Homo-oligomer: A and B are copies of this chain.
Amino acid sequence: MLESAPVSHRFLRACRREPVDVTPIWIMRQAGRYLPEYRAVREKVSFLELARSPDLAAEVTVQPITRLDVDAAILFSDILLVLPPMGLEVSFADEGGPRVQPVRGRDEVARLRSFDPSVELKYVGEAIRRTRRALDGRVPLIGFCGAPWTLLTYAVEGGSTRTFAASKRLLYGDPDTCRLLLSKLGAAVRSHLLYQIESGAEAVQIFDSWAGELSASDYEAMVLPVMQGIVADLKATGVPVIVYANGGAALLERLARTGADVVGVDHRVPLDDAWARLGEGVAVMGNLDPTALFADVPAIERMADDILRRAAGRPGHIFNLGHGILPETPPDHAKALVDRVHRHTPLKASPNDVGGMASGALGAS
């Protein structure tokens, strides 16, 4: 049997909006190029070799737990891994982002395959099992995948884009094919995340890196139904589901309606405003600007305190950056952030308040 993190781990408790001793924190891309121990591994293997090697993926997944003392591990993997088994080859360069064999037109969309992740993405399941053994119950392990809309942009544009012209042309010019593609991508996301949960992931995150390029009405009409279906199926496993939307300031009410346990918000919207719009029924993750970690430590602490202050008074805040940590970040600054969040948590100040606030919030949900 695998050692599980205790169900009472503060990260999992916060996902369920239960009171915690201190605010839990993890960092998007915490296993990444800003860490010298990660770069040492990457000198020997490519990005894709690393993602496909269960032992090495487990090794780099655990690195930031040891160094930073964060409250959750996130599997070293990539948001696009479902595309190749669907029939769309992906190549990863260190610069310029991934390149994807683009899908164009209804016939090509119709030809995209469904697949069995326990066969085609078996290395992900194996990496999860090895990571869980290496973590030995210290912190929970998060699995993840790209969201259907974000996967659609990579598949349709053939990679990164600034204008999203091809994606939007599909959305506005051929909405039926767009819906078909979102639906097929949604099915792949769902089966891949369920496989990650079966393999031992204790929470899952759906990364919608490009949700912010959609208007609220387009998100609602095209994307929300697909997301609701995925989230409902994942939640049936009992594992918390995090939906993260970069640039999602205009979408918050709709993001709450995905049914996610936790909505991750970027750094562009003040956390208290975001949470007021998300409503009582959801936990919130965020939202320090990743570039804030370029500041000196006292300035980082001030900015962290401001976010903690905005989240105080109700349980269900998971501290994170608003987007992935940048490769130029000094690791000591990331550690200083984690320490600050662990030391300075408004909820901690008055233990008697915690129960009252918690039961109040839970009662309202």
By a beta-carbon cutoff of 8 Å, the part of chain A in contact with chain B is 163-165, 167-169, 171-173, 212-213, 215-217, 247, 249-250, 267-270, 289-292, 294-296, 299, 306, 326, 328
Contacts and interface: CB of A to CB of B under 8 A. Distances in A.
Contacts of A213: 268
B268 A215 contact: yes
Of A169, A267, A289, A291, the most chain B CB neighbours within 10 A belong to: A291
Nearest to A274: B250
A171 B299 CA distance: 11
A275 to B, nearest CB: 14
18 contacts: A163-B290, A163-B291, A165-B291, A165-B328, A168-B289, A168-B291, A168-B294, A169-B291, A169-B294, A169-B328, A172-B295, A213-B268, A215-B289, A216-B270, A247-B247, A247-B268, A249-B249, A250-B269
6 shortest interchain CB distances as A-B pairs: A168-B291, A172-B295, A169-B294, A249-B249, A250-B268, A172-B294
A214 B163 CA distance: 20
A122 B269 CA distance: 42
Contacts of A295: 172-173
Contacts of A212: 268
A125 to B, nearest CB: 32
Contacts of A171: 291
A326 B165 contact: yes
A217 B267 CA distance: 11
B173 A296 contact: yes
Nearest to A249: B249
Of A165, A267, A306, the most chain B CB neighbours within 10 A belong to: A165
B215 A165 contact: no
A269 to B, nearest CB: 5
Of A213, A250, A270, the most chain B CB neighbours within 10 A belong to: A250
Contact of A294 (B173, B216, B292, B326): B173
A187 to B, nearest CB: 26
Contacts of A215: 267-268, 270, 289
Contacts of A328: 165, 169
